[in-house]
């Protein structure tokens, strides 16, 4: 699924469920079109990003990730040559 600013929380929850991602891996906060996904681990972030494209995010202090379409920061690796953010 490709997320955009018109994607609703209900659509995100369905996409996560269809890809076998449970509440233990990722939590969706917010309502309507104003939502955010929190993952508990780096592996959880990878699973969510494979299921839903078009997300940006940042690493939280506890080691998880906060992902959203409204945050178009970088979630890849700067040193990875395949990354669009490679320097």
Query: Looking at the domain assignment, is residue 84 inside a domain?
Result: no
Residue 64 lies in a domain: yes
77/19: higher pLDDT: 19
Confidence of residue 84 (pLDDT cuts 50, 70, 90): low
Task: Answer with the residue of higher pLDDT: 50 or 70.
Answer: 50
Q: How far apart are CA 65 and CA 11, in angstroms?
A: 20
Domain that holds residue 61: 9-68
CA distance 73 to 23: 24
Q: Quick check: 76 pLDDT over 80?
A: no
Alpha carbon 45 to its chain centroid, in Å, reads: 6
Instruction: Establish if 1 belongs to a structural domain.
Output: no
Domains contained in the chain, number = 1
pLDDT above 90 (res 86): no
Token code pair at residue 67:
């992902």
Whether residue 80 lies inside any domain: the answer is: no
For the segment 18-54, what is each residue's pLDDT rounded down to a tens digit?
A: 999 999 999 999 999 999 999 999 999 999 999 999 8
């Amino acid at each position: 699924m490709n997320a955009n600013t018109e994607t609703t929380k209900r659509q995100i929850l369905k996409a996560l469920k269809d890809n076998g991602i449970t509440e233990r891996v990722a939590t969706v906060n917010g309502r309507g079109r104003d939502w955010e996904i929190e993952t508990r681990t780096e592996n959880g972030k990878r699973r969510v990003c494979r299921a839903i494209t078009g997300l940006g995010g940042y690493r939280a202090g506890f080691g998880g990730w906060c992902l959203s379409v409204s945050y178009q920061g970088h979630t890849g690796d700067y040193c990875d040559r395949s990354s669009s953010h490679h320097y």
